[in-house]
């Protein structure tokens, strides 16, 4: 699954300008400010926008994405909303002003914090097609994040697979991707606890007398656990670890200066806003703790596509790319993955895990599902039978039995249907666009 010398049209263009694009919504219009180093003053674009309509649109978009596993109609609904003229009108002025190779720093406002502006289609293209995109709550926060840069990243701390929650099937893949490319410490299983993480990264910054007893913060902190957003108390939002929730309030006290934080969980990028557009939630807490940038998701993510995206993202970081470039390349790479590519990736994960790993049944089930999508009904049946033999819980067996029943039915009724291993599985924004980099681009 390594990327080797992509064709010229798939390579990133030469690095150009940094373009800061700041949105501000009033009752009946959107103000868009464009800031570049070559202009003494920002350029202002004003558009008529009903912000009430926009807010309602974003709510419908978020609700559809939250329920997307219930059926394809909900993904179609979310896709249609992303193509709504109101959202398209907010992206069009950006496309009119960027040049090849420009990096974009987007500053959303109000409900736009929950919209993947980099994935909004406009005139057949998206911002993410040709531009690395980073988000920031404000220009002031961007300067604060840049002040927390610490140079090259060579170390990592991986917190993954805490017990007591629904397992992330590909959590071991995330951990392996980091361990193989960085000097990584791991807190896994029961060791992936709130208490252990607070001991490792909590407390006041060491002074000259205590520095010897403290390890410096890692270059990368990867947390592979389920995220929870609490709309009633955003600072109680967090990630579920072995001994309870690591909340945004907890994160305020961590020592993360110079640490790129990756939250490989669902909706970790969702925050509440207050008057003045102050963000409340995980992003604010982690940036306040010194992280120059945070990679978070805007909606419930697909486990397999997330594993592939993050694996490629870490490959780029390991090669020395800035975080925003590594993310852009990983997104572009994921959009081109075929069923054959994904099956090869899952096969590698199954080989690494073996049949005794707790995730063995779920890995086999993931392969069976991909084979169904590729219309390899016989292969899906065989793989689902293997998954059933490995299933150790009633819930796993129930999931496998549903896929096995469907595979057998289609194997009987779909004879003669050609297998399609060349189909691109992740070209929908739902798979490649949920993760956004917030803070510094480096």
DSSP string, 64-103: HHHTGGG-HHHHHHHHHHHT-HHHHHHHHHHHHH--TT-E
How confident is the model at residue 231, as a pLDDT?
Answer: 79
Of all residues in the chain, the percent with pLDDT exceeding 90 is 68
Better pLDDT: 4 or 346:
346
Rounded to whole angstroms, what are the CA distances from 431 to 41, 69, 334, 359, 399?
Answer: 38, 12, 8, 22, 22
Cα separation, 134 vs 27, in Å, equals 26
Q: What angle is formed at CA 77 by the lines to CA 224 and CA 271, rounded to 5 degrees?
A: 40
What is the tens place of the pLDDT at every residue in 5-32?
A: 444 334 444 568 999 999 999 989 999 9
* β-pair type (183-188, 155-160): parallel
How confident is the model at residue 6, as a pLDDT?
Answer: 46
- Say whether pLDDT at 125 is over 50: yes
Q: What share of the chain is helix, strand, coil (3-state, %, to 5)?
A: 45, 20, 35
How confident is the model at residue 195, as a pLDDT?
Answer: 93
Computed over every residue of the chain, the mean pLDDT equals 88
- Say whether pLDDT at 120 is over 70: yes
How confident is the model at residue 187, as a pLDDT?
Answer: 92
How confident is the model at residue 8, as a pLDDT?
Answer: 37
- Say whether pLDDT at 89 is over 50: yes
Comparing C-alpha atoms, which of 298, 292, 326, 231 is closest to residue 58?
298
How confident is the model at residue 397, as a pLDDT?
Answer: 94
Residue 158 has phi, psi (to 5 degrees) of -110, 120
How confident is the model at residue 2, as a pLDDT?
Answer: 44
Which distant-in-sequence residues (6+ apart) come within 8 Å of 203 by Cβ? 253, 255
- For residue 122, list its beta bridge partners: 125
| Domain ranges for the chain | 14-142, 146-203+215-336, 339-413
CA dihedral 166, 170, 172, 177 (to 10 degrees): -140
Cα separation, 78 vs 144, in Å, equals 34
What is the tens place of the pLDDT at every residue in 390-426?
A: 998 898 899 999 999 999 999 998 788 999 999 999 9
CB 358 within 8 A of CB 190: no
CATH of 146-203+215-336 among 3.60.15.10, 3.20.20.20, 3.30.70.20, 3.40.50.1460? 3.40.50.1460
Please tell me the CATH code under which domain 14-142 is placed.
Answer: 3.30.420
- Say whether pLDDT at 117 is over 70: yes
The sign of the dihedral angle between the CA atoms of 352, 353, 356, 362 is: negative
Grouping H, G, I as helix, E, B as strand and the rest as coil, residue 380 is helix
**DSSP assignment, residue 208?**
T
The sign of the dihedral angle between the CA atoms of 9, 11, 12, 13 is: negative
How confident is the model at residue 130, as a pLDDT?
Answer: 94
Comparing C-alpha atoms, which of 381, 352, 428 is closest to residue 172?
352
- Say whether pLDDT at 286 is over 60: yes
Cα separation, 387 vs 390, in Å, equals 5
- Say whether pLDDT at 122 is over 80: yes
CB 57 within 8 A of CB 84: yes
């Amino acid at each position: 699954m390594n990327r080797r010398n992509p064709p010229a049209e798939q390579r990133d263009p030469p690095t150009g300008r940094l373009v800061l694009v700041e949105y501000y919504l009033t009752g009946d219009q959107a103000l868009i400010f464009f800031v570049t180093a070559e202009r003494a003053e920002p350029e202002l674009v004003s558009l008529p926008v009903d912000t009430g309509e926009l807010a309602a649109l974003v709510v419908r978009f978020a609700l559809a994405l939250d329920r997307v596993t219930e059926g394809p109609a909900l993904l179609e609904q979310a896709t249609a909303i992303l193509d709504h003229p109101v959202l398209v009108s907010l992206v069009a002025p950006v496309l009119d002003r960027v040049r090849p190779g420009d990096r974009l720093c987007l500053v959303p406002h109000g409900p736009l914090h929950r919209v993947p502006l980099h994935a909004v289609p406009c005139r057949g293209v998206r911002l993410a097609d040709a531009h690395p995109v980073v988000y920031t709550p404000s220009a002031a926060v961007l300067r604060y994040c840049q002040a927390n840069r610490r140079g090259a990243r060579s170390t990592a701390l991986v917190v993954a697979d805490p017990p007591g929650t629904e397992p992330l099937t590909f959590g071991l893949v995330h951990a392996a991707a980091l361990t193989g490319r960085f000097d990584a410490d791991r807190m896994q299983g029961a060791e992936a606890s709130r208490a252990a993480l607070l001991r490792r990264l909590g407390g006041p910054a060491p002074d000259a007398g205590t520095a010897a007893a403290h390890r410096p913060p890692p270059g990368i902190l990867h947390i592979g656990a389920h995220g929870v957003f609490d709309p009633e108390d955003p600072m109680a939002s967090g990630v579920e670890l072995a001994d309870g929730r690591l909340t945004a309030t907890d994160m305020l006290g961590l020592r993360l200066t110079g640490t790129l934080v990756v939250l490989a969980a669902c909706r970790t990028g969702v925050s509440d806003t207050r008057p003045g557009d102050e963000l409340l939630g995980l992003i604010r807490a982690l940036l306040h703790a010194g992280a120059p940038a945070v990679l978070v998701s805007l909606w419930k993510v697909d486990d397999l596509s997330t594993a592939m995206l993050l694996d490629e993202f870490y490959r780029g970081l390991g090669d020395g790319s800035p975080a925003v470039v590594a993310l852009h390349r990983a997104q572009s790479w994921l959009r081109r993955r075929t069923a054959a590519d994904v099956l090869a990736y899952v096969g590698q994960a199954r080989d690494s895990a073996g049949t005794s790993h707790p995730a063995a049944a779920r890995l086999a089930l993931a392969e069976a599902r991909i084979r169904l999508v590729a219309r390899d009904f016989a292969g899906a049946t065989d793989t689902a039978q293997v998954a059933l033999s490995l299933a150790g819980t009633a819930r796993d067996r129930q999931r496998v039995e549903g896929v096995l029943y469907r595979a057998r039915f289609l194997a009987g009724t779909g004879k003669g249907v050609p297998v399609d291993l060349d189909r691109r599985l992740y070209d929908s924004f739902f798979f490649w666009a949920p993760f956004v980099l917030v803070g510094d681009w480096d």
